[in-house]
Amino acid sequence: MTRLEKIESLLISGCSIGIGVFAFLLPQEMKVGSFVLALSVLLLVQSLIRDLYLLLRIKRDRSAAEAKSARCICLESVTGVTGVFIGLMLVGGGSGPEIQTGALVWSVASFAVMTSGFLIKDMILEMGPWRIRREQDHLNLIFAWRPKPPF
């Protein structure tokens, strides 16, 4: 585990505890769709913060690898956008059960989402052939429908 990953693990724990402490500011009862939507946005915000940090680090260090094109997308982003889409569909449908969201539920759910995001942060979904593979700090990958050959 790198130093940056250790720091992110501590931040995930701290954020989850903070969410539990300040849960009284959050809704105590919500529809499932709204809850899914909120947690999906949390996953996307976590991904955005990590990517912004990596961009700043690359800009500062000037040690970025050369960009290459590929038919792939970040698995963390796909998961977050899919969750947002499902949450919006459930909210738009207006149906679904209401759930009690006290401090423990908010804290555990946020910890689970952020830990899942941490575990899949280096995974990409490659198209053609369809597969999931690990690509460390994949900011140097640019999506292209027809990627250029590496030579």
pLDDT tens-digit series, residues 101-151: 999 999 999 999 999 999 999 898 888 788 898 887 676 677 777 766 654
**How far is 126 from 16, CA to CA, in rounded Å?**
31
Give tens-digit pLDDT for 6-57: 999 999 999 999 999 999 999 999 999 999 999 999 999 999 998 888 888 7
Question: Which pLDDT does position 64 carry in this prediction?
Answer: 55
Question: Which pLDDT does position 148 carry in this prediction?
Answer: 64
**How far is 15 from 23, CA to CA, in rounded Å?**
12
Residue 55: in which H helix or E strand, if any? helix 32-61
Question: Which pLDDT does position 7 carry in this prediction?
Answer: 93
Give tens-digit pLDDT for 55-96: 887 777 665 567 777 788 889 999 999 999 999 999 998 877
Q: Which residues of 27-65 are buried (b: 16+ CB within 10 A; e: fewer)?
A: eeebbbbbbbbbbbebbbebbeebbeeeeeeeeeeeeee
